[in-house]
Amino acid sequence: MSEGTSVNQELSTIFNELWSLDVNRMTPVIDYTISIQVRNLFYQGIHTVQDQASQPLFSNVNESKLRNITTFSSFMTLLDNYERSTGVTEQVTTEELTEMDLFLDAVLETKVMKVCVTTSSVDCGMSLWPQRSPRRGSLLDSSGFEHVFVGETKSGTEIIGFHNWVQFYLQEKNQHLDYKGYKAREHDLPDQDDHVLNLQFSWHGVVKPVGSAFIGTSPEFEMAVFLMNTERSTTVVVNIDQCQMELVVIRHGRSLGTAYPKLLSSNSRHVRQHAH
């Protein structure tokens, strides 16, 4: 953590409450296994990277469990409703509107999102999709939801967004995505039970030199964390479980522009460093 940057204890307390309520979170090694492999320091442009990871990031995911949890299954249904390239207008069907409503209904029923709604002034559904649909706020083209959870390519040369582990897993399984290795400081290396990773990957041949994502967390947890801050643009340091991270949230009016976690320290190393 850089000098002069302090932990936001108020948000840390709220986020740890959400963490404890996240009963749909997947358990490392039991529900999924990641292979973090080698730290990747190399990047010299869009098409010049060294692949330090010969194996996929996800070596195993209990997909049947994912599909039996309503928020995960309805989230996965949404992922194929978006065009990869920015500026391409999606053709939205009545079925897709129904799928969005089913996802929001499922998310809003969780304890995690109920705490988000009661604690925050944000309408957690409408701030993701602020344009009106027949039933609820829905922004179905270049939305904050698409940017953060699905990912987009810009001019065919840049990946923007793409901060969700389920999308990462599915794209990797379908051989659209190639994990290149993790990004970390030498004295603070991650392991397979970390719930936040900084990483490098390519998607449809385009490189994301430094990406980041929660790992194993439920869609409702990520939505709640990203939507708790109502200010236009914030970068806040928080402690969640054993991780210290920087949460970056940028808003455009009431809607979400981008949001992602950046891992600063894992395995409670920040606690031990503070104690010294």
Q: Of 147, 183, 195, 270, which one is the catalytic site residue?
A: 147
End-to-end CA distance of the chain: 15
Q: Are 239 and 231 in contact (CB under 8 A)?
A: no
Strand locations in 119-217 (E): 152-154, 158-160, 177-182, 196-203, 206-214
C-alpha angle 185-188-190 in degrees, rounded to nearest 5: 105
Rg of the chain's alpha carbons, rounded to an integer? 18
Q: Of 183, 195, 208, 270, which one is the catalytic site residue?
A: 208
Question: Token pair for residue 25?
Answer: 């979170």
- Rounded Cα distance, 130 and 102, in Å: 17
Helices (H), the chain: 9-21, 63-67, 70-78, 94-108, 111-119, 144-145, 165-173, 219-227, 269-275
C-alpha angle 34-38-43 in degrees, rounded to nearest 5: 115
- Based on the residue annotation, tell me whether 147 is a catalytic residue of this protein: yes
- Based on the residue annotation, tell me whether 163 is a catalytic residue of this protein: yes
Q: Of 111, 163, 187, 262, which one is the catalytic site residue?
A: 163
Q: Which residues are catalytic?
A: 147, 163, 208
